[in-house]
Amino acid sequence: MYEICVYGAGSWGTAVANLLAKKKFNVCLCARDEKLVLRLRETHHNNKYLKDIHLSQNLVFDTPKNAQMGIFAVPVKYLRDFIEHFSIKVDAALSLSKGIEDETFLPPSGILFQTLGITKEQFAVLSGPNFALEVALELPTASVVASSNRNLAKKLQNMFNTHYFRVYTSSDYIGVEYLGALKNILAIACGISDGLNLGQNARAALITRGLAEILRTYKYFGGKSKTMLSLAGIGDIVLTATGNLSRNRILGLKLAQGLSIDEILNQLNGVPEGLNTVMAVFRLSQKYSIETPIINEVYNIIVNKKDPFESISILMNRPLKSE
């Protein structure tokens, strides 16, 4: 059993494992693919995701194994099958993933409780405006670790905190998880708007009115309002709605160019979680009559191939209301 295993050798899993290894923790980065494990051992480079970054010599690589602390950086769509397939067991879990399971509406915590048999006292989430590449380059970054277990949150805060990675704690792990998922839909919306050259006024309006939709949806899940103002809320929304390293924003930019979802997924280096999240949130908002006009239009552009200009017209011509 390893002390710390990071599951998922994508960009974020690799960057986080490397941060901890540089801090001299005994960390194993676990990839599904044995060939990738061998390549990582030989080169100490994850060429697919973090090209020029030389990984710490302290970092070890393996296929998924049991761990005292399991750090999960697997896209939410694959998380349940991944844990079951590798029969993973951990004493405590930290989630890095930002999505919602389509059928169940569960965030990563709910999936980890069911598959690992852990309680909320053994769970934490790390989230915030954190592009993997910038963390790997040691650019100044701030983040939040949230858990209902104060001791676990403090322990992880100290584990991760370093001169370029400043960590805050929170007890609202549900709010932090849902905000991490929901902001990806706004990143797609802003990508579409910017791709169509609709201007910076339009982008600011989308972010602000999108926030109102996120707040309505997120309250349904039990997140606290004040978490909206945190790094995991507004911080991550601003980053991914405006930053060109965001796969979700890029998805929107490419939709605006008229590319199909399949073409975009073939070009993207990584999984845009917003694609699945928008499906789940659209169904949820229909089921519980939550008012989500921007989210509905993102859904219509993706699923019903609606012309984005028609979506803009619908949003601009809705009945007038007070803020």
Ligand X SMILES: O=C(CO)COP(=O)(O)O
Ligand Y SMILES: NC(=O)C1=CN([C@@H]2O[C@H](COP(=O)(O)OP(=O)(O)OC[C@H]3O[C@@H](n4cnc5c(N)ncnc54)[C@H](OP(=O)(O)O)[C@@H]3O)[C@@H](O)[C@H]2O)C=CC1
Q: Which residues are catalytic?
A: 183
By CB under 6 A, is residue 97 in contact with ligand Y? yes
Tell whether residue 311 is among the known ligand binding residues. Answer: no
Continuous H helices in the chain: 11-22, 34-43, 76-85, 108-116, 132-136, 150-160, 173-195, 200-221, 236-242, 247-256, 261-267, 274-287, 293-303, 308-316
By CB under 6 A, is residue 131 in contact with ligand Y? yes
Tell whether residue 13 is among the known ligand binding residues. Answer: yes
- Taking the complex as a whole, the smallest distance from the CB of residue 77 to ligand Y amounts, in Å, to 8
Which residue pairs from 287-291 have beta carbons closer than 8 angstroms and sit at least 24 positions apart in sequence? 288/220, 290/213, 290/216, 290/217, 290/220, 291/213, 291/216
Helix (H, G, I), strand (E, B) or coil at 94: strand
Site size with ligand Y, rule: CB under 6 A = 27
Q: How far, in Å, CA of 96 to CA of 93, rounded?
A: 10
Tell whether residue 147 is among the known ligand binding residues. Answer: no
- Taking the complex as a whole, the smallest distance from the CB of residue 256 to ligand Y amounts, in Å, to 21
> Considering CB distances under 5 to 8 angstroms, the limit depending on partner class, which of ligand Y, ligand X, none binds residue 236?
ligand X
- Taking the complex as a whole, the smallest distance from the CB of residue 264 to ligand X amounts, in Å, to 13
Q: Which of 182, 173, 184 shows the shortest CA–CA distance to 218?
A: 182
Q: In residues, how long is the chain?
A: 323
**CB nearer ligand X, residue 37 or residue 254:** 254
Strands lying side by side in the sheet with 123-127: 60-62, 27-30, 2-7, 67-72, 90-95, 123-127, 141-146, 165-170
- Taking the complex as a whole, the smallest distance from the CB of residue 250 to ligand X amounts, in Å, to 8
Look up residue 227 and give its DSSP letter.
G
Tell which one of 73, 179, 211, 256 touches ligand Y (CB under 6 A): 73
Residues binding ligand X (CB under 6 A): 98, 129-131, 184, 187, 236, 239-240, 246-248, 272-273
Look up residue 228 and give its DSSP letter.
G
Tell whether residue 9 is among the known ligand binding residues. Answer: yes
Query: What CA–CA distances, in Å, run from 104 to 78, 101, 178, 283, 299?
Result: 14, 6, 13, 11, 18
Q: Which residue is nearest to ligand Y (CB)?
A: 10
Tell which one of 2, 6, 11, 71 touches ligand Y (CB under 6 A): 11
Tell whether residue 11 is among the known ligand binding residues. Answer: yes
By CB under 6 A, is residue 220 in contact with ligand Y? no
- Residue 147 contacts residue 123 (beta carbons within 8 Å): yes
- Taking the complex as a whole, the smallest distance from the CB of residue 73 to ligand Y amounts, in Å, to 4
By CB under 6 A, is residue 33 in contact with ligand Y? yes
> Considering CB distances under 5 to 8 angstroms, the limit depending on partner class, which of ligand Y, ligand X, none binds residue 129?
ligand X
Torsion of CA 233, 102, 241, 257, to 10 degrees: 180
Span near ligand Y by CB under 6 A; candidates 6-14, 21-29, 296-304, 312-320:
6-14
- What Rg do the C-alpha atoms of the chain give, in angstroms? 19
Tell whether residue 243 is among the known ligand binding residues. Answer: no
Tell whether residue 49 is among the known ligand binding residues. Answer: yes
> Considering CB distances under 5 to 8 angstroms, the limit depending on partner class, which of ligand Y, ligand X, none binds residue 96?
ligand Y
Convert residues 132-161 into a mask of x (bound to ligand Y by CB under 6 A) and - (unbound): x-----------------------------
Annotated binding site for substrate: 98, 247-248
Annotated binding site for sn-glycerol 3-phosphate: 98, 128, 183, 236, 246-248
* Residues engaged in binding ligand Y (CB under 6 A): 8-13, 31-33, 36, 49, 73-76, 78, 82, 96-99, 130-132, 270-271, 273
